[in-house]
Amino acid sequence: METWLAPSLIVLAASSLQAATGFGFSVMATPFLLLVFEAHTAIQINIILSLLISVVMVPRIGSEIDKALLFRLVKGAVIGAPVGLGIFVFLDATLLKIVTSIIILFLTGLLILKFTIKQSSLKDATAGGFSGILTTSLGMPGPPLLLYFVGAEMDKSVLRSTTLAFFLFVYSSSLLLQVMTGSSNIKTWLTALALAPVALAGIALGQFLFRYINQRAFLIITYVILGATGTHLLVNSL
């Protein structure tokens, strides 16, 4: 029972955040799951459960999706995903944790500084490309999109719906690539399946919280979690 307590709490919190804000599962779940599971297993569990969340959520908020923006993000991700897969296959677990922690700390710092960026078609595709790389390598497509969308001061509802729709594509593609290259195994799938009910409960909780807690509160919580987790992973890896 204790073996499942930690990953269950991680998945519940991360899926709640994802349902409430449109982001947060990968940036919150992956670092903590890396403390519980072997690196490649943690990343694949994250991908499987994130895909599940998008499948459940997108039909409910599909009318809010910016389809032109989504198309540009997908184009970038198609280029970035194979690059990330090479990193996933050839990078050792320790180095993977170091890279993860550095990315988390860097992006957290930029988000706290609340920098702004002018949106453009090229930048949309570039953000999608980096997201594709991080999806197949670290199981974390969220940080590039969150950084870009927050910097561009995008509307909250568009951010939430378009991000979840993009995740539906990028996680499906990433998972297919990993299965085709033999990077997946039955034990990982069974573990993700066991955690799926917890993720569904988190979706329900996040939808409830969305009506009562503003997004700024979730952002502050995310900053704290990212900073603490990134520091912990970096110190332990070194």
Ordered mean pLDDT values, 10 residues apiece, the chain (238 residues): 80 87 76 82 86 88 85 92 81 74 80 80 92 78 79 78 87 79 81 93 88 72 73 77
Identify the H or E element spanning 200.
helix 186-210
Count the domains in the chain. Answer: 1
Domain that holds residue 160: 2-62+83-237
Does a structural domain hold residue 37? Answer: yes
Does a structural domain hold residue 69? Answer: no
Is the separation of the CB atoms in 43 and 88 below 8 Å? yes
Does a structural domain hold residue 77? Answer: no
- CA 83 vs CA 41, 42, 51, 70: distances in Å: 19, 20, 20, 20
- Dihedral of CA 93/96/98/101: which sign? negative
Q: Count Cα atoms within 13 angstroms, Cβ side, for 88.
A: 30
Does a structural domain hold residue 76? Answer: no
189 CB burial (10 A radius; 0-12, 13-18, 19+): middle
- pLDDT at res. 218: 66
- pLDDT at res. 12: 93
Does a structural domain hold residue 78? Answer: no
**Which tokens hold the place of 86?**
């090479």
Q: Count Cα atoms within 13 angstroms, Cβ side, for 160.
A: 21
**Which tokens hold the place of 74?**
């997908």
104 CB burial (10 A radius; 0-12, 13-18, 19+): buried
Terminal CA-CA length for the chain:
31
The pTM of the full predicted model, rounded to 2 decimals, is 0.76
Does a structural domain hold residue 110? Answer: yes
Does a structural domain hold residue 117? Answer: yes
**Which tokens hold the place of 215?**
């997004």
Residues 6 or more apart whose Cβ sits within 8 Å of residue 123: 117, 148, 152
- pLDDT at res. 73: 95
Does a structural domain hold residue 67? Answer: no
